Amino acid sequence: MPTSKARTTKTKSSASTRQSRAQATKNKAQSSARSKGKTQAENGASEGNTQLDKLFTDTLKDIYWAEKQLLKALPKMQKNATTDELKSAIEEHITQTEEQVTRLEQVFEICGKKAQGKKCAAMEGLIEEGNEIVEETEKGSMTRDAGIIMAAQKVEHYEIATYGCLVTFAKTLGMDEAVELLEQTLEEEKETDEKLTMIAEGNINQSAGQEEEEEESDEEESESEEEETEESEEEMEKKEK
Ligand SMILES: [Fe+2]
Ligand SMILES: [Fe+2]
């Protein structure tokens, strides 16, 4: 396990300030663990740069990138939503997401690391899927809202999984202050998920169930085209014989 090169080559005074602040937080975590009658080793907390430290930091970078991408994607989702109820729920979550980004920056600071994002392929895919749903549904329809809610809930579930793991990692590493910050965000993501379910079940899904499908005739057309192709293939075979 290589030790962090960045930490040893940092020259800026702000870096050493962050380091001493991180050390202070770690000391606080150690004494809190001891006061609970556990030694640091018993508590599972690490002395230095363990593989779990690295996994924790990498996951922070992943979710930091994801949250920032969401700050770009959510206003688009909000604009495309049909009902005021969904629009205002997304609006509220944009404000929460801004706070979540700030919290992540605080966690980076606790770790003595610079806040930095790393491309999250999962979130990129989930956002892309949300865009596809908008493209494939009719403007102003309840079905579009049902689809946007589904896309948003997939995002929330990804976030819940990530923040849930980050909380348990931070607990293991004895980082009490980080645990507190990450738990706040985890709760917000869970509440958002529940709120979206309530909105969907309130009226949107029901109304979407009454919206007629537009492309039914197109599907029938393509089905008959397929039949024609099969027929002509049979004819060709007969001719060959
Ligand atoms: Fe979030
Ligand atoms: Fe979220």
pLDDT, tens digit, for every residue of 157-166? 999 999 999 9
- Nearest ligand, measured from the Cα of 156: 2
Going from the C-alpha of 30 to that of each of 45, 54, 91, 179, the distances in angstroms are 8, 19, 40, 14
- At position 176, the amino acid (one-letter code) is D
**Residue among 111, 96, 119 at smallest CA distance from 57:** 111
Task: Compute the mean pLDDT over every residue in the chain, rounded to the nearest whole number.
Answer: 80
104: Cβ contacts below 8 Å, ≥ 6 apart: 60, 63, 64, 67, 115, 185
Q: How far is the CA of 200 from the centre of ligand 2 (A)?
A: 17
Please give the pLDDT value at position 131: 96
Nearest-angstrom CA–CA distance, 64 and 101: 7
Per-position b or e across 187-224, b if 16+ CB within 10 A of its CB: ebbbebbebbeebbeeebbebbeeeeeeeeeeeeeeee
Q: Indicate whether 5 pLDDT > 60.
A: no
Higher pLDDT: 62 or 36? It is: 62
Count Cα atoms within 13 angstroms, Cβ side, for 181.
20
> In this predicted structure, which of 94-103, 167-176, 192-201, 222-231 has the lowest mean pLDDT?
222-231
Say which ligand is closest to the CA of 100: 1
Name the closest ligand to CA 120: 1
> Ligand 2 centre and the CA of 9: distance in Å?
36
Taking the CA of 191 as reference, the closest ligand is 2
pLDDT at 26 over 60: no
Length of the chain: 241
Ligand nearest to the CA of 196: 2
Is the pLDDT at 1 greater than 60? The verdict is no
Q: Tell how far the Cα of 229 is from the centroid of ligand 2, in angstroms.
A: 48
Give this prediction's pTM.
0.71
What are the residues whose beta carbon lies below 5 Å from ligand 1 (ion)? 97, 100, 159
23 C-alpha to center of ligand 1: Å?
A: 28
Q: How far is the CA of 185 from the centre of ligand 1 (A)?
A: 7
> How many angstroms separate the CA atoms of 223 and 221, rounded?
5
- Ligand 2 centroid to Cα of residue 129, in Å, is 16
Q: What is the mean pLDDT of residues 183-200?
A: 98
The rounded Å distance from CA 176 to ligand 2 centre is 23
Ligand 2 centroid–CA 154 distance in Å is 10
pLDDT at residue 167, as a whole number: 98
Helices 121-136, 142-172: axis angle to 10 degrees equals 170
> Which run of H or of E encompasses 83?
none
Q: Which ligand neighbours the alpha carbon of 65 most closely?
A: 1
Instruction: State the pLDDT at residue 49.
Output: 81
CA of 77 to the centre of ligand 1 (A): 15
Q: How far is the CA of 123 from the centre of ligand 2 (A)?
A: 11
Residue 224 has pLDDT above 90, yes or no: no
Residue 48 is predicted with a pLDDT of 55
H or E segment to which residue 8 belongs: helix 5-9
pLDDT above 90 for 123: yes
- pLDDT level of residue 230 (50, 70, 90 thresholds): low
DSSP 215: T
Q: Residue 56, class by beta-carbon neighbours within 10 Å (0-12 exposed, 13-18 middle, 19+ buried)? A: buried
